[in-house]
A and B are shown apart, each in its own frame.
Chain A
Amino acid sequence: MAGKTTVGVLAMQGAFIEHEQAIKSCGANCLQVRRAQDLQEIDALIIPGGESTTMGKLLKQFNLLDEIKFQAEQGMPIWGTCAGMILMAKEIVDSNQIRLGLMNIEIKRNAYGRQVDSFETDLEVKGIGTTRAVFIRAPYVQKVWGDAQVLASYEDKIVMVRENNMLATAFHPELTRQKEIQEYFLQMI
């Protein structure tokens, strides 16, 4: 199936080209999403890392916010990394920033500190195994509820969550050469 699948990567701002390259190397088609009508062309959506406040503002200004929410309710698989994870959270600690609010998670931004505290490490993911995880000014999840299931934690902090058709990672699989997380997401389609 993967060969015929088209995955959209939200291209407002951030590391969308890295996601595009990773998805293509897994054999799927890829489309950069900048307009609401682009959502009609895709089977799944990735919201990349970048600045969540920048992306949230552009999503609202260019009328993508409600359209993505609608597609999520219709069951479109959506995967957010880092800033994407923040945008997918219903609750963001100490912030009223614009968000999609799709997942039953409470997230803390810049939770590990500033850039000098950014790090990479090996991470154990439920059902996938060990993967190399790059955390850049990363958030973590403080609380999950409802259908949200924890897939990975690092030093007792939740860093990967699945909730039905939605997936969120605090780290950046698109910055490594490994493809396990991409393959896992493509299986969700």
Chain B
Amino acid sequence: MAEKGSLKVKTGLAQMLKGGVIMDVTTAEQAKIAETAGACAVMALERVPADIRAAGGIARMADPTVIMQIMEAVTIPVMAKCRIGHFVEAQILQSLGIDYIDESEVLTPADDKYHVNKNDFTVPFVCGARNLGEALRRIGEGAAMIRTKGEPGTGNVVEAVRHIRQVNDEIRWISNLPKDELMTAAKELQAPYELVLQVAELKRLPVVNFAAGGIATPADAALMMQLGCDGIFVGSGIFKSGDPAKRAQSIVAATTYYNDPRVLAEVSRDLGEPMVGIDISTIRPEERMQERGW
């Protein structure tokens, strides 16, 4: 009997994406550029996070036509975003045959208390997290992959670094606790106890963990990989830069050769203008996307 939508099948695709770069694209043409540059998947969107931030208003799931055009343009996996808690957008994306759903803080949340019950779906989900408790709550709801939230659309890697360091710190803390202290630790983390036990044993998250939210250069990608991420999401960083094809290709190479400074030096050369960055302190707290999620 063939078993579809099992946890192994859902987490399995994330494992296949590891060591790769997932790129935000808004058209079939951009999707082709991303695939040719070596992206291991693309995220189909109507606008990249930098444009969502600039436009303001309510950001929603992309038009299915845009998503389907992108799905037809490439052979690599295609992901798409639904709003936090918007399980109907998720149902629509699943019916389109999307390969992964990102329940994303980049879009305006549809629910101020609850996330989607991702265990209800055959399609796997990725969710953002700023700390271990948030990551384990999302996994408890059925997320098969986690990414740092960072601060999307800023081209500023500082928040993504803060989030992976926070997760790593808490994993080290949990891993060194005697078993009789883990229930209280789970209470402090606001995380499911069974998952806290798993993390203590594995000394890592039980699912794949990518970096996202502010990665703009090959060096940024290698930094996140050296900090222990399994792969890279690049949102605005590629198609908001001067030479997207070349930058995309360089970030792909930097994600594979993240421990080889000579290769990193080579692929960092002559990339043209990077996206214009934003200092986090200039974004008012209520406008920070990372605060979305419960």
Contact = CB atoms under 8 A, between A and B. Distances in A.
A13 B123 contact: no
A178 interface: no
A53 B13 contact: no
A51 interface: yes
Nearest to B263: A62
Contact of A121 (B2, B13, B100, B253): B2
A114 B99 contact: yes
B13 A15 contact: no
B256 A14 contact: no
Contacts of B124: 115
B119 interface: no
Interface in B72-127: 75-77, 94, 97-100, 122-124
Contact of B76 (A15, A53, A62): A53
Interface string B252-265: 11011100100000
Nearest to B12: A136
B1 interface: yes
A50 B123 contact: no
A115 B9 CA distance: 8
A139 B170 CA distance: 39
B9 A54 contact: no
B36 to A, nearest CB: 8
Nearest to B79: A115
A15 B9 contact: no
B123 A115 contact: yes
B77 A134 contact: no
Nearest to A121: B2
Interface string A1-39: 000000000011111111000000000000000100000
Given A13-B20, A51-B40, A117-B4, A18 B253 contact: no
Interface in B187-210: none
Most buried by A among B13, B40, B253, B260: B40
A99 interface: no
B73 to A, nearest CB: 13
Nearest to B95: A116
Interface in A35-60: 49-51, 53-54, 57-58
Contacts of B36: 57
Interface in B21-50: 35-41
Contacts of B18: 13-17, 50
Nearest to A133: B2
A95 interface: yes
Contact of A175 (B12, B98, B100): B12
Contacts of A58: 38, 252-253, 256
B16 A50 contact: yes
Interface of B: 1-6, 8-9, 12-13, 15-20, 35-41, 75-77, 94, 97-100, 122-124, 252-253, 255-257, 260
Closest 5 CB pairs of A and B: A115-B99, A119-B2, A51-B40, A13-B19, A57-B38
